[in-house]
Structure 1
Amino acid sequence: MTTVTTRTVEYPADGLTMVGHLALPAGTGRRPAVLVGPEGPGLNDFQRRRADALAELGYVAMAFDINGGRWFTDPEEMLAYVMPMLADPDRMRGIGHAALDVLRAEPRTDPDRIGAVGYGTGGAIALELGRDGVDFRVIATVNALTTGRPGEAARIRCPVWVGVGSEDPIMPPAQRDAFTAEMQAAGVDWRLVVYGGAAHAFHHPSVGHAVRPGVAHHELHARRAWNDVVNLLAECLPVTAQAA
């Protein structure tokens, strides 16, 4: 296992002080970087560990914040906070750009080789950054099949991968169809993986029971989705010998 250095980073966004988690790989040279977006309840140790795991693979990784350091335990309180955000593409882009600026400013980051991996709300933010023309090398989202404003998906310049559970009531087949139609019409290089039998938030290990109907962890598909994301990064954003 390689040595990973981590630190907390605070930065302003959305009228709040965001508290992100930056993970740096061993070495001193510039590396490809990954922006890691959390689901609606906020940034917790799950995404921090994901950033650390990416740093072990050789990436500079930053798990960003969307709630000003909060973690919502009440689903209704979380939805009251998140739903207006998801309805406001410009607000999502502002939150995403603020985090991206921090990642780009890190001296270890190769600013020309950045990707995004997002879960739920964080995935929706990653997609909005793509629709805003950010020059990502790849965008991967889990449980985020949000569509954008008409025509703006044409600004996405990289492959897009999305993973969703077949039994996710928040991202049902009609939503999948709308998203893939948007990507196809825009000429995006897109992929959709549907994990059979999985519900919403299937990737998150702390969701061992139905916090809300249709929300449950699926251990096998959680591992598969992570492996799919890692393989996608290896394809689209490889850590080359030159970067090491």
Structure 2
Amino acid sequence: MTTRTVEYPADGLTMIGHLALPAGVDRRPAVLLGPEGIGLSDVERRRADALAELGYIALAFDLHGGRYLGDPEEMLARCLPLLADPDRMRGIGHAALDVLRAEPRTDPDRIAAIGYGTGGAIALELGRDGVDLRAIGTVNALTTGRPGEAARIRCPVWAGVGSEDPIMAAEQRDAFAAEMQAAGVDWRMVVYGGALHAFHHPPVDHTVRPGVGHHPRHAERAWRDVVDLLTECLPVAEAV
């Protein structure tokens, strides 16, 4: 497995992504991986590496031009307007998707998008924009879109959320489920009992918002569920 840093323009910034490649020279299915609102960190880089070890081309994409926003107020000041603007989210997603597709080993017809928080919202917006994806997986990202656009989603959607997440509370879960169901999407949701927002993310050394907390057991389960989604919808063929 090898990795490299990739720079590309998006949202008026120079984004710095992390591309992980499995051993070999053959074409492989690929996964776009989006981070929480705080931005790309070693957490997502390690997840991209783990996907490469499983045989996928994986790109962990950037949100903030190479910055990690550990200050919750700074993070919200950037992410809330972004989450309210589907076109900006799609622009960030498409820019990263173009980088992933440009990798010679990527099979352009076999790509999935997974993401956490803001990165998951971007994955969903790519689906609502009609991008041909094999699967969409999100954690902490039960965002709803513009009326009717969920009907453009062409692939299964998996969503994970903590039962005690105050940001993605029961009303938001219900709204997301209603949108997916009305659009005829092949969707499923896993509610992890007792988990808060960002339960999948290891503890950090800076201030976090109330309602955010790590749940190690559910973090492992959510990762297994993401891998199961990819195994079902985007299986890795044996290298020739």
What's the TM-score, normalizing by structure 1? 0.97
SS across alignment from 2:23: coil
8 Å contact kept, 2:129–2:152? yes
How far 1:213 moved relative to its partner?
Answer: 1.0
User: What whole-Å deviation, never above 9, does each CA across 1:132-187 have from its counterpart, x for those lacking one?
Assistant: 00000000000000000000000000000000000000000000000010000000
| CA distance in 2 between partners of 1:208 and 1:187 (Å) | 42
Deviation of 1:206 after TM superposition, in Å, equals 2.5
Tell me, which stretches of 5 or more residues in structure 1 are unaligned? none
- Supply the distance in 2 between the matched residues of 1:6 and 1:209 (Cα, whole angstroms): 28
From 48, 63, 66, the equivalent of 1:51 is 48
Give the counterpart of 2:94 among 74, 93, 97. Answer: 97
Q: Work out the CA distance in 1 between the residues paired with 2:141 and 2:229.
A: 17
**Aligned equivalent of 1:67:** 64
Counting only pairs closer than 5 Å after superposition, residues 1-244 of structure 1 correspond to structure 2 as 4-207=1-204, 211-241=208-238, 243=239
Q: Distance in 2 between matches of 1:191 and 1:208?
A: 33
Query: What amino acid sits opposite 2:210 in the alignment?
Result: P
In the aligned structure 2, how far is the partner of 1:206 from the partner of 1:107?
A: 36
Point out 4+ residue stretches in structure 1 off by more than 4 angstroms: 207-210
Whether the 8 Å CA contact 2:70–2:207 is kept in 1: the answer is no
Q: Secondary structure at the match of 2:68?
A: coil
Please give the alpha-carbon distance, in whole angstroms, between the structure 1 residues aligned to 2:44 and 2:170. 27
Amino acid at match of 2:235: P
Mark the runs of 5 or more structure 2 residues left unpaired by the alignment. none
**Counterpart amino acid of residue 119 in structure 1:** Y
**Root-mean-square deviation (CA), in Å?**
1.1
- Contact 2:31–2:58 (CA<8 Å) still a contact in 1? yes
Measure the CA separation in 2 of the matches of 1:73 and 1:236.
34
Q: Matches of 2:225 and 2:61 in 1, distance apart?
A: 21
TM-score relative to the length of structure 2: 0.98
Letter in 1 for 2:49: D
| Partner deviation per Cα, 1:14-65 (whole Å, 9 max, x = no partner) | 0000000000001100000000001101000000000000000000000000
Taking only the aligned residue pairs, the percentage that are identical comes to: 81
Q: 2:88 is matched by which residue type in structure 1?
A: R
